[in-house]
């Protein structure tokens, strides 16, 4: 099902005073390559997707925000002047964005709003960033004469997660949601904040996500452990982050660090190179190289970084057996989905085979999401 303006507008009219407001949209995202690189000051390579959030908004002449979540069938009202904000986590996203925009000098007024999304939950496509971005973009348009630049809008979303939801996320998800462009992926330099668009129009190929519908309970704090490994190795190399380090430098200190730290760093250094290889390949329209680097990333994440799991390794193996050009785990790991670059003529067989084999081994079929690279935050 593709979400439409009417899906949101009909509920907006029903729940408020029968009039209509302005409608905005922001997308979820995929990341083609560049995983676990953001906290190493490296590069990421996201693109916005068709699925996203749509919100209708109308000023109501008060200091209160009246918000209706169509998907959750839940209504919350809060004051812009209340420092604590609402308890419901979905409403805290809207509250946080309002607070952060007011802190930037935007004269936000009370408004009525209804919103809905079709970003699949749990598939690692960043529904929360889409929610933050749609409101940041809308408030900038309605109250701020669009004077806040896009990167600052992305940072509003990030600050909302940090301060109001207690989630210490990077900038990639919000960046991709705000800056997305149909037919283009974006290479973001997490150190400088600079970014560049690269053409992504794989004629003869499809990009598809296979969601394993598996999320493994994490023992301890594996993300923090890996981050600490990277920081230890960077410190041994006299750097704050692994960005820019080479395999020659790493091999020179191999006997001074643990095997585990060596493997973690080997993955990150390789991933920096792979992102740059993919950029070069895309400029030439060379999707075979793109696919080869995707597989290398998958097995690096599986064997060196050790954030994969049996189900995702199985999906990557089935992809290879079916002749899929590229396949890798997408997102932080330990479950979620694989992202696959597959030739048109192999698509149907791959999906059928993956469903059948995965079901036989793991007792359920993966969910399938076709990816179309789309535009970022906008007024509809």
Q: Tens of pLDDT along 230-272?
A: 999 999 999 999 999 999 999 999 999 999 999 999 999 999 9
Q: What is the largest CA-CA distance in the chain?
A: 71
Count of other CB atoms within 10 angstroms of residue 17: 9
Per-residue model confidence as pLDDT tens digits over 14-50: 999 999 999 999 999 999 999 888 888 899 999 999 9
Q: 43-44 and 74-79: which strand pairing?
A: unpaired
CB 373 within 8 A of CB 208: no
What does the DSSP 8-state code read for residue 123?
T
CB 377 within 8 A of CB 25: yes
Per-residue model confidence as pLDDT tens digits over 171-212: 889 999 999 999 999 999 989 999 999 989 889 999 999 999
Residue percentage of the chain with pLDDT more than 90: 82
- pLDDT bin (cut points 50, 70, 90) of residue 303 is very high
Indicate the range of 114-123, 163-172, 217-226, 229-238 predicted with least confidence: 217-226
Spatial separation of the C-alpha atoms in residues 135 and 344, rounded to whole Å:
37
Give backbone dihedrals phi and psi of 278, rounded to 5 degrees, phi first: -65, -40
What does the DSSP 8-state code read for residue 219?
S
For residue 186, the surrounding DSSP H or E stretch is strand 184-189
Q: Residue 224: CA atoms inside 13 Å, Cβ hemisphere, count?
A: 5
For residue 30, give Cα distances in angstroms to 233, 266, 294, 310, 356.
29, 24, 13, 22, 25
Q: Looking at the domain covering 5-200, what would its CATH class be?
A: alpha beta
Q: Look up residue 142 and give its two tokens.
A: 């309605």
The hierarchical CATH code for the domain 205-370 is 3.30.70.890
Spatial separation of the C-alpha atoms in residues 286 and 49, rounded to whole Å:
22
For residue 234, the surrounding DSSP H or E stretch is helix 222-236
- What Rg, from alpha-carbon coordinates, does the chain have? 21
Q: How far is CA 74 from the centre of its chain?
A: 25
* Mean pLDDT rounded to a whole number for the chain: 93
Average pLDDT over residues 124-134: 90
Beta-carbon contacts of 82 under 8 Å, excluding residues fewer than 6 positions away, are: none
Q: Please work out, in degrees rounded to the nearest 5, the angle formed at the alpha carbon of residue 186 by the alpha carbons of 282 and 289.
A: 25
Q: In residues, how long is the chain?
A: 380
Spatial separation of the C-alpha atoms in residues 371 and 139, rounded to whole Å:
28
Count of other CB atoms within 10 angstroms of residue 252: 12
Spatial separation of the C-alpha atoms in residues 31 and 199, rounded to whole Å:
14
Q: 111-117 and 64-69: which strand pairing?
A: parallel
Any idea where the domains of the chain sit in the sequence? 5-200, 205-370
Spatial separation of the C-alpha atoms in residues 164 and 135, rounded to whole Å:
15
The model scores a pTM over 0.75: yes
Reference 27, options 63, 52, 56, 61; nearest CA is 52
pLDDT over 90 at 220, yes or no? no
For residue 207, the surrounding DSSP H or E stretch is strand 205-215
pLDDT over 70 at 219, yes or no? no
Judge if 5-200 and 205-370 fold alike in CATH terms.
no
pLDDT, position 1 = 52
Residues belonging to the active site: 173
Q: Look up residue 343 and give its two tokens.
A: 């030739």
pLDDT, position 218 = 62
Indicate the range of 190-204, 286-300, 342-356 predicted with least confidence: 190-204
CB 333 within 8 A of CB 310: no
Beta-ladder partners of 191: none
Beta-carbon contacts of 345 under 8 Å, excluding residues fewer than 6 positions away, are: none
């Amino acid at each position: 099902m593709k979400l439409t303006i009417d899906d949101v507008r009909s509920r907006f009219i029903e729940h408020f005073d029968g009039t209509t407001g302005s409608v905005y949209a922001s997308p979820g995202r995929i990341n083609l390559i560049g995983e676990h690189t953001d906290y190493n000051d490296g590069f990421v390579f996201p693109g916005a997707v068709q699925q996203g959030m749509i919100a209708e908004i109308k000023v109501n002449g008060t200091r209160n925000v009246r918000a209706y979540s169509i998907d959750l069938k839940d209504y919350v009202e809060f004051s812009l002047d209340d420092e604590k904000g609402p308890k419901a986590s979905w409403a805290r996203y809207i509250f946080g964005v309002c607070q952060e925009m007011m802190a930037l000098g935007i004269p936000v007024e009370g408004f009525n709003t209804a919103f809905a999304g079709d970003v699949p939950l749990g598939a690692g496509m960043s529904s929360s960033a889409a929610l933050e971005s749609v409101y940041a973009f809308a408030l900038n348009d309605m109250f701020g004469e669009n004077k806040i630049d896009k990167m600052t809008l992305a940072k509003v979303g990030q600050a909302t997660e940090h301060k109001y939801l207690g989630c210490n996320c990077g900038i990639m998800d919000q960046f991709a949601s705000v800056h997305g462009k149909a037919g283009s992926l974006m290479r973001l330099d997490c150190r400088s904040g600079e970014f560049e668009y690269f053409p992504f129009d794989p004629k003869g190929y499809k990009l598809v996500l296979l969601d394993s519908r598996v999320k493994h309970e994490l023992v301890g704090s594996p993300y923090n452990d890996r981050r600490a490994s990277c920081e230890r190795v960077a410190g041994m190399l006299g750097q704050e982050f692994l960005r820019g380090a080479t395999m020659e430098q790493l091999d020179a200190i191999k006997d001074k660090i643990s095997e585990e730290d060596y493997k973690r760093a080997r993955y990150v250094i390789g991933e920096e190179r792979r992102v740059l290889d993919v950029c070069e390949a895309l400029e030439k329209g060379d999707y075979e190289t793109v696919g080869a680097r995707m597989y290398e990333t998958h097995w690096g994440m599986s064997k060196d970084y050790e954030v994969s799991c049996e189900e995702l390794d199985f999906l990557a193996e089935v992809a290879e057996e079916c002749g899929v050009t590229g396949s890798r785990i997408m997102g932080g790991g330990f479950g979620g989905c694989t992202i696959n670059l597959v030739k048109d003529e192999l698509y149907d067989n791959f999906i059928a085979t993956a469903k059948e084999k995965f079901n036989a081994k793991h007792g359920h079929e993966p969910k399938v999401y076709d990816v179309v690279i789309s535009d970022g935050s906008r007024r509809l």
